[in-house]
Structure 1
Amino acid sequence: MRSGALVRRRQLARTLRALRLHAGLTIEAAAPQLDVSASKLSRIENAHQGVDVHMVRSMLDLFDVGGARWTEILDLTREASVKGWWRAYGLDDKCYVPLEAEASTVRDFTVTYVPGLLQTSDYARAMFESSLRSRSKETLEREIRVRMIRQERLTSTIDPLRLAAIIDEPVLHRPVGGPTVMRAQLQHLVEAAALDSVELQVLPTGTGAHPAMGGAFTVLSFEGLGEPDMAYVEHPMGSVHIEKKEDVGRARLVFDHLRSVALEPPESVASIERVAAQT
């Protein structure tokens, strides 16, 4: 089982809604029989509110679900209630980390910095310290630790994560943290590119105009969970999760185009090594 529960909560919500509809009940008709308000039932079905095993048992009784399906849904309910490891670091289930924790593949295009999954701790520290957001020393250390924990899945055999990363070439020349930190970061990229789980490409400046000039983006895939792909965009004022099928499809197409015009992985590594030698 993967290390998060947010995606499973979404699975459970979708399943409960489908069972209610199959039973021929509206939310208004089902809610009183479950001793909850229609608004609460709606929040449960939209994964905006968690639900415990006792409530789900009542719902399965009402929707006339039994046998193996009963056991399967109760197991899913328990999995959806598990608190993710990030809670211990002050993060809630509304941020990016819980989604990545259950993803099987991450496609990441970055234009101003090295992807978080490939950053050294010193590079990450310099990134966080450059932000205008005020952080205590303890908060800063927690955020760096979270970033390092996320990277562990790239070498995990139990809970693996595949990463396809495309880095805009100027990122390699931006000395985040100074020359020493940047040199170590470039070497780390070379080492990460050797992992079976990582496909690293550099988009050369000479490529000219391309479909992603509007900015960086990430596409998450959840193989084995039955969840559709999701896109994620981070910007200076916050972030946005994109779930609309057509929009996510466009994001995948753009990423595939970038992959086709970027340097091949061996050439990308050679490019990074050349920059490192000059840093």
Structure 2
Amino acid sequence: MGEPNLPARQLGRQLKRMRERLGMTQDEAGKPLRMSTSKMSRIEMGYLPPYHDFRALLDRYGVIVSDWDEYIAAYDRAREKGWWHHYGVGNRGFLPIEAEACKVREFEFGYIPGLLQTEAYMREVYAGARRLMKPKSLENEVAVRLRRQLRLTVEPVLTYHVIIDECALRRPILFGEAREEQLCRIVERAALPNVTIQVVPEDVGAYDGQNGTVIVASFDDPEEPDIAYIEHMLGSIHLEKKDDVSAAKLALKDFADRALDEEDSIALIERL
């Protein structure tokens, strides 16, 4: 099923505010509706209840029927599937978070980040995966990644700050013209006003970034907390606790401090 999307989390917070304005605890609000405290908690975290349960909550909170339309519209928006479902991809990984974010800060050690990859690079990465994809699945994954890249150029554009280890640029995944095209793509993206690219040079030596990918996403909604996303060999995890996200931000700051500034980073890529 995946994590709640942004509209669902916003709706959950709205229901929480309605309950708190009435001075009710979750138990007091849910008990007459046969809703447990744990269910109420999940609803306020953004896990949508069945439609009739949602209507019952509106009634419980004293919303008159003539004012229900805006809440029902918000409920319907929260139930909408993202564009990626058309490609057979569910609400997994970082994709749903990225689609809702206004700003992403990312560190990549082993690969060129997906938002900067050429199609040739994507195909080589997928071909080298431990589990080979069926042709249809591979084409869908490529199509999804290409569409994700539109966030850098199509409104609402994503503010994107990425830090790449030099080893990812030197890794022999592509050769000849295909390799040159990939490096030129990075330089082209760096010219966009919403994109900042830094490179951690090889002479930095050992540092924590060698443990894997770190991403932090931020949102336009001031009530929506930042989310950290960590990738590792066996999968990935979302981190939403304040201390965990703060640790991820500190790691990204450390990597940025170790990296070349933007101008010198682009000069290095051009030399390569």
* AA of the residue aligned to 2:5: L
Q: Does residue 1:102 correspond to 2:100, yes or no?
A: yes
The DSSP-based 3-state class of the residue aligned with 1:212 is helix
Answer whether contact 1:44 1:51 (CA < 8 A) is retained: no
Deviations 1:121-170 (A, max 9, x none): 110111111101231100000001100100001001x3211110110011
Select 1:260's aligned residue among 243, 257, 261: 257
Amino acid at match of 1:6: N
Q: What does residue 112 of structure 1 align with? A: 110
Listed as ranges, the gaps of 5+ residues in structure 1 are none
Query: In the alignment, is the contact (CA less than 8 A) between 2:8 and 2:47 conserved in 1?
Result: no
1:83 to 70, 81, 84: 81
Measured at CA, do residues 88 and 225 of structure 1 come closer, stay the same or move farther in structure 2, by a change above 3 Å? Answer: farther
1:200 equivalent to 2:197? Answer yes
Please give the residue correspondences for 1:133-172 in structure 2 after superposition, counting only pairs within 5 Å. 133-156=131-154, 158-172=155-169
Three-state SS of the structure 2 residue aligned to 1:11 is helix
Out of 224-233 and 81-90, give the one that drifted further: 224-233
Q: Which runs of 5+ in 2 are unaligned?
A: none
Single out whichever of 41-50 and 113-122 deviates more from structure 2: 41-50
Q: Which amino acid aligns with 1:44?
A: I
What amino acid sits opposite 1:64 in the alignment?
G
Give the letter aligned to residue 76 of structure 2. Answer: R
Provide the TM-score with structure 1 as the length reference: 0.86
Cα distance in structure 1, aligned partners of 2:233 and 2:48? 28
CA separation in 2, counterparts of 1:241 and 1:143? 21
Residue type matched to 1:165 in 2? V
Write out per-residue CA displacement over residues 188-212 of structure 1, whole angstroms, 9 at most, x where no aligned residue. Answer: 1111111112101111111234343
Residue aligning to 2:22 = 23
Matches within 5 A, 1:1-279: 6-31=5-30, 33-34=32-33, 40-52=39-51, 55-65=53-63, 73-156=71-154, 158-224=155-221, 226-275=223-272
**Number of residues of Structure 1 aligned to a counterpart in Structure 2:** 269
Q: Secondary structure at the match of 1:224?
A: coil
Q: Distance in 1 between matches of 2:35 and 2:243?
A: 35
What TM-score do the two structures reach when normalised by structure 2? 0.88
Q: Is the 8 A contact 2:115 2:149 kept in 1?
A: yes
Query: How many angstroms apart in 1 are the aligned matches of 2:49 and 2:60?
Result: 19
Q: CA deviation at 1:24?
A: 4.0
Amino acid at match of 2:254: H
Give the 3-state SS of the residue equivalent to 2:211 in structure 1: coil
Deviation at residue 44 of structure 1 after TM alignment: 2.6
2:109, 2:209 within 8 Å by CA — same for their partners in 1?
no
Q: Tell me, yes or no, if the aligned pair for 1:51 and 1:77 is still in contact at 8 Å.
A: no
Partner Cα distance (1:89, 1:135) in 2: 14
Between the aligned partners of 1:27 and 1:226, the Cα distance in structure 2 is 20
Task: Work out the percentage of aligned pairs sharing the same amino acid.
Answer: 40
Q: Give how far 1:18 is off.
A: 3.7
SS at 2:197 equivalent: strand
* Contact 1:231–1:248 under 8 Å retained in 2: yes
- State how far apart, in whole Å, the 1-side matches of 2:135 and 2:11 are: 38
Structure 2 SS opposite 1:94: coil
Deviation at residue 181 of structure 1 after TM alignment: 2.7
Tell me, in whole angstroms, the C-alpha distance in 2 between the residues paired with 1:201 and 1:65: 51
* 3-state SS, counterpart of residue 233 of structure 1: strand
- Distance (Å, rounded) in 1 between the aligned partners of 2:206 and 2:173: 25
How far residue 269 of structure 1 moved from its aligned partner, in angstroms, is 1.0
Question: How many Å separate the matches in 2 of 1:68 and 1:161?
Answer: 38
